[in-house]
Amino acid sequence: MRVLSGIQPSGRLHLGNYFGAIKQHIELQAKNECFYFIADYHALTTVRKADDLRKFSQEVAIDYLALGIDPQKTVFFRQSDVPEVPELTWILTNLMPLGLLERCHSYKDKIAHGVTPHLGVFAYPVLMAADILIYKPDLVPVGKDQKQHIEVTRDLAIKFNTAYGELFKIPEPHILPQYAVIPGVDGQKMSKSYKNTIDIFCSEAELRKRVMSIKTDSTPVEQPKDHTKCSLFALYELFATPDEKKRMEDIYRKGGTGYGAVKEELFGKIRDYFKPYHERRNSILADPAYVATTLREGAGRARDAAGKTLREVKKAVGII
Ligand code: ADP
Ligand code: TRP
């Protein structure tokens, strides 16, 4: 199967990105033909400083490779290196009902928060549809917050196929229920925009600080605690074996253990889990040419696939 996904370089990668998306991306490489990209045109809707965008794009590339992207197998590239995508975006824009865009959460959230949205935020799902459909994937692995964008993509593909003939594949979202929404340190969805993240590649001191800042309720140490309503437990569960999870549930039920001790255990688990990736990341950092070459080669392979679809589309709509 062909698998495709993108990740925005709008900050450092965090545990929500890892469990909601990256972990699946890495695992899906074993049995599928994968296309993964750094969605820098999407990040332009929020990142205003050129140096920040350059830095975040480079960091995401390094971090992704360190976490296990295999560029021999997978096509790994930067969205902006494929100019066929913005071309297709314009063509799709003409099929996109405004009402559907107005219902999209990303746009509605901005309005609800009193932000005056620009056209980029409004049209974001059309760009996303273009960079999915152009590669004709079967599966798009993402976190739950992206589900609506995949639905828009499917609607748009059906509209195009109805108007111009069967050209696009209708992609399926791939969302694992156990990783659908990873909570942040404040209990809301973990997100760069909420400043509630635990970053994958932070220092040990920073990791400890972030874990210790996870919000818990005020149940006294000796009393039983409800693990089903606790984001500390939800994060612990991500790293625990089934036996460890059961043991922790018992600890919560019995009472007598404070949240501080649970945080200490979680800190050790996160640190140990990512230790090998830190080591791999250090060796990638020591070879900057590797990242540049990898992205250049990936862009070439991505453009081959994208160019083929764009030619078909242009022919179908009457531009060629
Ligand atoms: P952020 O909200 O931090 O800006 P992105 O929108 O860049 O994150 O998300 C990149 C990928 O990670 C997407 O597939 C998204 O669904 C997933 N993701 C982000 N945050 C979470 C979360 N808290 N839980 C599950 N998946 C998430
Ligand atoms: N919008 C996605 C996010 O914020 C990133 C993205 C851009 C994407 N294009 C994509 C994800 C195509 C999957 C497929 O996370």
Both ends of the chain: CA-CA distance in Å? Answer: 30
Mean pLDDT lowest among 86-95, 141-150, 269-278: 141-150
- Model confidence at 265: pLDDT above 90: yes
Which of 145, 148, 186, 193, when mutated, tests ligand 1's pocket best, judged by the most ligand atoms within 8 Å of its CB?
A: 145
2-181+288-317 under CATH 3.90.1010.10, yes or no: no
Region 69-84 average pLDDT = 98
Which of 25, 57, 149, 151, when mutated, tests ligand 2's pocket best, judged by the most ligand atoms within 8 Å of its CB?
A: 149
pLDDT the model gives residue 69? 97
- What average pLDDT does the structure give for the chain? 95
| Residues with C-beta less than 6 Å from any ligand 2 atom | 4-8, 39, 42, 128, 131-132, 140, 142, 146, 149
From CA 77, how far away is CA 194, in angstroms rounded?
A: 27
CATH class of 202-282: mainly alpha
For the segment 42-60, what is each residue's pLDDT rounded down to a tens digit? 999 989 999 999 999 999 9
14 bridge partner residues: 199
Query: Which residue's alpha carbon is at the smallest distance from atom 16 of ligand 1?
Result: 143
Q: Do 2-181+288-317 and 202-282 agree at the fold level?
A: no
- Are 293 and 233 in contact, with CB atoms under 8 Å apart? no
From CA 11, how far away is CA 55, in angstroms rounded?
A: 9
Give whole-number Cα distances, 301 to 35, 111, 129, 230, 294, in Å.
9, 39, 20, 45, 11
Mean pLDDT lowest among 81-95, 112-126, 168-182, 190-204: 112-126
Establish whether 245 is a catalytic residue: no
pLDDT the model gives residue 143? 86
Q: Where are the domains of the chain?
A: 2-181+288-317, 202-282
pLDDT the model gives residue 109? 84
Region 58-82 average pLDDT = 97
| Residues with C-beta less than 6 Å from any ligand 1 atom | 7-8, 10, 16-17, 20-21, 142-143, 145-146, 179, 181-182, 189-193
Residue 193: pLDDT band (50, 70, 90) is confident
State pTM to two decimals: 0.94
- Model confidence at 111: pLDDT above 90: no
pLDDT the model gives residue 12? 94
Establish whether 110 is a catalytic residue: yes
Establish whether 49 is a catalytic residue: no
For residue 192, which atom of ligand 1 is closest to its CA? 3
pLDDT the model gives residue 113? 79
CB atoms within 10 A of CB 292: 12
What's the token pair of residue 16? 């929500």
- Are 89 and 130 in contact, with CB atoms under 8 Å apart? yes
Give whole-number Cα distances, 277 to 62, 68, 77, 274, 281, in Å.
11, 8, 20, 5, 6
Report how far ligand 2's centroid is from the alpha carbon of 57 (Å). 14
Report how far ligand 2's centroid is from the alpha carbon of 218 (Å). 38
How are strands ordered across the β-sheet holding 139-141?
A: 75-78, 33-38, 2-7, 139-141, 172-174
Give whole-number Cα distances, 197 to 9, 60, 75, 200, 306, in Å.
15, 16, 28, 9, 34
